[in-house]
A and B are shown apart, each in its own frame.
Chain A
Amino acid sequence: MQNFSYKQLTARNAPQLKGKLEKAIIGIAGCGGLGSNVAIALARTGIGKLILVDFDFVDATNLNRQQYFINDIGKRKVDALEEKLKTINPFMQVEKHFEKLTGRNVKIIFNEVHIVVEAFDKVSEKAMLVKVFSRNLFKKKYLVTASGLAGFGNPNSIKTKTLAKNIFVCGDNKTDFLVEGVMAPRVMLAAGHQANKVVDLVNKIF
């Protein structure tokens, strides 16, 4: 880390974000295709703290879209991802939860966050988070969810839309991974939308 400072890391950032990103605490719900890509993008921006939640281990089938390498296979995703994040932005705090996020523990784990990135696979889990963020306790926090990032082609169908005052959805709202498969290019497009929306919200919050 010779001659490496937070100031240098963020030197090329948009000037109006100065002093804002390091105050932000962002939850990453799921560290797979979306979550790992969003986390790395946010680490590069100079975000203050990430709270990573995932109960899974890296396997070989993850490598076509998730930010892991061959030597990560078998590791907990939260551990493998933290290692990478620290090599990009050692100034960022990382809190890890190796567990399944549920309607019961979500309010405890994400109590201090400003924004949560929903990066789950399953429809039921995505729907659970949307409901949590629609209720009183979490109405002052933001959720950036994803819907429709499967397959390949048609990059411009992936968009960021407003679902409610505090909930945004990124994706094409059509393609499903069980039907069309999931691959790095479109997953990264959707993750890019999510990370970009987070930065936009951080600019508004602080």
Chain B
Amino acid sequence: MKIFFEYLGLLHIEGIKNKSYLDFDSGCTVAELMTKLQIRKEHQKFISVFINDEEKTRQTILKENDRVKLFLPTGGG
């Protein structure tokens, strides 16, 4: 299953090119995606997840051709 993956903010994911297509097993949830991408637990709770421009939970099951965007804001204001 292919998804289009984008991340913004403080996230830095080793070996994953931003705005690229990723291949995952069918039935994969957002939480599983974060684990596979080795996103730190302390970051996960502040990440907003958008799939096809709609905010979704970490329990959401990904589908073929979903456009997944993860946003972890950097501090400062």
Using CB atoms and an 8 Å cutoff, list the residues of chain A in contact with chain B. Answer: 30, 32-35, 118-124, 126-127, 130-131, 134-135, 145-150, 161, 163-165, 169, 171, 173-178, 182, 187
Contact = CB atoms under 8 A, between A and B. Distances in A.
B46 A123 contact: yes
Would you call the interface of chain A mostly helix, strand, loop, or mixed?
mixed
Interface stretch (B26-34, B47-55, B58-66): B47-55
Contacts of B69: 163
B50 A123 contact: no
Interface in B1-27: 8-10
Interface of B: 8-10, 46-48, 50, 53-55, 69, 71-77
B74 A123 contact: yes
A130 B73 contact: yes
A163 B8 contact: yes
Contacts, number: 92
A147 B9 CA distance: 6
21 contacts: A34-B77, A35-B77, A119-B77, A120-B77, A123-B73, A126-B75, A127-B73, A130-B71, A134-B55, A135-B55, A146-B73, A147-B9, A147-B74, A149-B76, A161-B8, A163-B50, A165-B53, A169-B71, A173-B8, A173-B74, A178-B75
Contact of B53 (A33, A164, A175): A164
Most chain B C-beta atoms within 10 Å of own C-beta, residue among A33, A118, A148, A165 = A148
Contacts of B75: 121-123, 126, 176-178
A134 B48 CA distance: 9
A150 B76 contact: yes
Contact of A127 (B8, B48, B53, B77): B48
A121 B75 CA distance: 5
Contacts of A171: 74
A103 B69 CA distance: 23
A125 B76 CA distance: 11
Given A34-B77, A35-B77, A173-B8, A123 B72 contact: yes
A148 B50 contact: no
